[in-house]
């Protein structure tokens, strides 16, 4: 462990300024343990200085832990919902596909927020970072209000457009309506955590998401099945639990921003509306939304293609996708760490440090996800079988998990590279790459394999693996050209 730790430059090359971290002469295992402890507790580390590996570690650990809890929630949610039957699982799968539009907005806006906050922090301009965070809140509330009206009025029609059967629409429209009306909790949670991550306060983002999902995991079965004094709400209970948990987390985020002594604090002087700043944030984030929309809308179309083969393939795909998310969300932690490093390093006029950070994060991500993909291939049956006993759902879930798992090393590199472009504020480059890999390649190829060549759902799974792998290769080629280093935010 110590050899690998030193090999990727995670050692300390100069005396540390962070309280509680041992001096340079300490044995590598002690330094690693101390750095892990500092990462979880939070530090005042300047990420534009010192060893890159240590900076990535301090940023990535809380981000990974943050997303691990999100993964645990996703698995717990589908575990309890699966007890309600295949229709309930299919409803969640179809609704999640629709909610990817909300996640698209949240993640896309978050790209702009992270890039601008990180750049201001790198420039040693905390007031500029705070003003950006305030305008992110304004933007999130406005967008969420529009989406809530659409979801509240047309939940049934939205499910119908996704190819849901009459039974699924009847049983699941309440779940869909509640999730869409409560989308503000998702958007604000995403945006404010993006601001904290851009500032380097990844520990705060980790803690609020852990709080949200801890509440969610406890309330989920209690409201679905009516434990104790709580009412039995069935599938609707899962939606209520999700929104309550996330709502509490957003409240904690706002209180933290107002009272924090960390890198990011919003005071009264930052609350003045600045149209120019909001316009800059909208332009940058709008492109980020388009970028994510290109990627996530492809998942919606893929789900629609699968829906043509019946409820069982969709249910199997939903279970497998939740398991995949369990692996990929932690990888997002390291990717987001790279994005923060890129933004702050460019703000500090250190582009070489930014580039080196990306390649180090990419190699680490490939190693971890490569092993995970191998485990998914070998143990797909027990993994899917843990969530459902229906043999047909298991059959489709296992096939999806094995095919998609083959491309995990490529996904790992692609995730880091795409987030690094975004951290630099170069949101158009990954948008163009997404257009080519997903809309021009993945979707037509999935339809041809599924229908043209008669491979059915298996054709869709193969198209997913090939498209994600091609994205990684193209991103690596473009990243090496280095034009992202000159991007101004």
d(CA 347, CA 349): 5
When pLDDT is averaged across residues 278-296 and rounded to a whole number, the result is 86
In this structure, are 297 and 210 located in the same domain? yes
Residues 327-351 have a mean pLDDT of 89
166/291 same-domain check: yes
Q: Please give the residue range of the domain that contains residue 26.
A: 2-40
Q: 195 phi and psi, to 5 degrees?
A: -65, -45
Q: Are residues 22 and 159 in the same domain?
A: no
Please answer whether residues 201 and 139 qualify as being in contact, where contact means their C-beta atoms are separated by less than 8 angstroms.
Answer: no
Flag whether pLDDT at 365 surpasses 50.
Answer: yes
Q: Are residues 182 and 36 in the same domain?
A: no
Same domain, 6 and 99: no
Question: For residues 354 and 293, what is the distance between their CA atoms, to the nearest angstrom?
Answer: 27
C-alpha to C-alpha distance for 221 and 81, rounded to whole angstroms: 9
Confidence band of 28 (pLDDT split at 50, 70, 90): low
pLDDT of residue 12: 35
Same domain flag for 66 and 190: yes
Whether the predicted pLDDT of 280 surpasses 50: yes
CB atoms within 10 A of CB 229: 6
Give the model's confidence band at 9: pLDDT under 50 very low, under 70 low, under 90 confident, else very high. Answer: very low
Do 421 and 453 lie in one domain? The reply is yes
Tokens (6 digits) for 204: 């705060």
Q: 158 and 128 share a domain? A: yes
- Chain Cα centroid distance, residue 138: 22
Domain identity same for 88 and 17:
no
Does the pLDDT at position 25 exceed 70? no
**One domain for residues 35 and 54:** no
Q: Is 269 exposed, middle or buried (0-12, 13-18, 19+ CB in 10 A)?
A: exposed
475 or 27, which is more confident = 475
418-476, pLDDT tens digit by residue? 999 999 999 999 999 999 999 999 999 999 999 989 899 999 999 999 999 999 999 99
Q: What whole-number percentage of the chain has pLDDT above 90? A: 47
- 8 confidence band (pLDDT: 50, 70, 90): very low
The encoded tokens of residue 199 equal 């500032």
Q: What is the structure's pLDDT at 469?
A: 93
Could you report the per-residue pLDDT of 255-266, keeping only the tens digit for each?
999 987 778 999
Kindly report which listed range (14-23, 330-339, 364-373, 387-396) carries the lowest average pLDDT score: 14-23
The pLDDT of residue 33: 83
Rounded to whole angstroms, how far apart are CA atoms 188 and 148? 13
Q: Based on the structure, what is the number of domains in the chain?
A: 2
Could you tell me if 48 and 26 lie in one domain? Answer: no
Residue 113 and residue 19 share a domain: no
Summarize pLDDT for 174-209 with one digit per residue, the tens. Answer: 888 998 898 889 899 989 999 999 999 989 989 998
pLDDT, residue 352, reads 94
- Environment class of 224 (CB within 10 Å of its CB; exposed 0-12, middle 13-18, buried 19+): buried
Considering only CA atoms, give the Rg of the chain.
Answer: 22
Q: What pLDDT score was predicted for residue 371?
A: 92
Instruction: Supply the pLDDT for residue 359.
Output: 95
Q: What percent of the chain has pLDDT over 70?
A: 93
pLDDT > 80? residue 7: no
Is the alpha carbon torsion for 30, 31, 36, 40 positive or negative? positive
The count of other CB atoms within 10 Å of the CB of residue 392 is 15
- What's the mean pLDDT in 279-284? 89
Task: Tell me the pLDDT tens digit for each residue of 226-275.
Answer: 998 899 998 889 889 989 999 999 999 999 999 877 789 999 999 999 99
- Cα–Cα distance measured from residue 217 to residue 281, given in angstroms and rounded to the nearest whole number: 34
> What six digits make up the tokens of 293?
């929309």
pLDDT given for residue 1 in this prediction: 38
Mean pLDDT, residues 408-426: 93
Residues near 369 by beta carbon (within 8 Å), at least 6 away in sequence: 327, 328, 331, 408, 409, 411, 412
Indicate if the pLDDT at residue 295 is higher than 70. yes
pLDDT at 24 over 70: no
pTM of the model: 0.77
pLDDT in tens, 129-184: 999 999 999 998 988 898 899 888 988 888 888 777 787 787 778 888 998 898 88
Averaged pLDDT of the chain: 86
Instruction: Say what the pLDDT of residue 3 is.
Output: 39
């Amino acid at each position: 462990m110590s050899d690998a730790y030193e090999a990727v430059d995670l050692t300390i090359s100069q005396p540390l300024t962070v309280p509680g971290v041992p001096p340079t002469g300490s044995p590598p295992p002690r330094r690693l343990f101390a750095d892990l402890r500092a990462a979880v507790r939070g530090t005042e580390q300047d990420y534009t200085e010192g060893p890159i590996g240590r900076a990535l570690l301090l940023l990535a650990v809380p981000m990974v832990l943050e997303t691990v809890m999100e993964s645990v929630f996703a698995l717990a949610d589908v575990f309890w919902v699966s007890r309600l039957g295949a229709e309930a699982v299919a409803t969640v799968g179809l609704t999640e596909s629709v909610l990817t539009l909300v996640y698209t907005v949240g993640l896309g806006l978050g790209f702009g927020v992270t890039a601008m906050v990180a750049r201001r922090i790198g420039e040693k301009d905390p007031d500029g970072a705070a003003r950006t965070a305030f305008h992110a809140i304004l933007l999130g509330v406005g967008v969420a209000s529009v989406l809530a009206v659409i979801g509240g009025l047309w939940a049934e029609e939205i499910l119908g457009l996704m190819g849901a059967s009459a039974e699924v629409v009847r049983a699941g429209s309440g779940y869909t309506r509640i999730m869409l009306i409560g989308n503000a909790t998702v958007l604000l949670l995403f945006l404010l955590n993006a601001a904290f991550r851009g500032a380097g306060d990844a520990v705060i983002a980790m803690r609020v998401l852990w709080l949200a999902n801890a509440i969610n995991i406890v309330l989920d079965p209690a409201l679905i099945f009516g434990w104790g004094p709580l009412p039995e709400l069935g599938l609707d209970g899962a939606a209520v639990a999700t929104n309550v948990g996330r709502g509490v987390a957003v409240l904690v985020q706002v209180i933290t921003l107002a009272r924090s002594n960390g890198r990011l604090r919003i005071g009264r002087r930052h609350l003045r509306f600045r149209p120019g700043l909001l316009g800059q944030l909208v332009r940058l984030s709008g492109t980020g939304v388009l970028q994510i929309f290109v990627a996530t809308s492809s998942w919606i179309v893929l789900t629609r293609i699968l829906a043509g083969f019946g409820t069982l393939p969709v249910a199997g795909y939903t279970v497998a996708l939740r398991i995949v998310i369990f692996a990929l969300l932690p990888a997002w932690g390291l990717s987001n760490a790279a994005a923060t490093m890129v933004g702050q390093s460019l703000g500090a006029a250190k582009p070489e440090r930014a580039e080196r950070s990306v390649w180090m994060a990419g190699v680490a991500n490939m190693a971890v996800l490569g092993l995970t993909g191998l485990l998914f291939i070998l143990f797909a049956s027990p993994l899917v079988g843990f969530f459902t006993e229906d043999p047909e759902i298991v059959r489709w879930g296992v096939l999806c998990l094995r095919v998609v798992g083959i491309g995990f090393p490529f996904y790992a590199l692609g995730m880091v590279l795409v987030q690094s472009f975004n951290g630099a504020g170069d949101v158009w480059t990954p948008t163009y790459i997404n257009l080519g890999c997903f809309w021009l390649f993945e979707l037509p190829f999935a339809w041809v394999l599924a229908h043209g060549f008669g491979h059915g759902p298996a054709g869709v799974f193969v198209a997913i693996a090939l498209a994600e792998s091609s994205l990684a290769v193209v991103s690596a080629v473009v990243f090496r050209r280095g034009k992202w280093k000159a991007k101004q935010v």
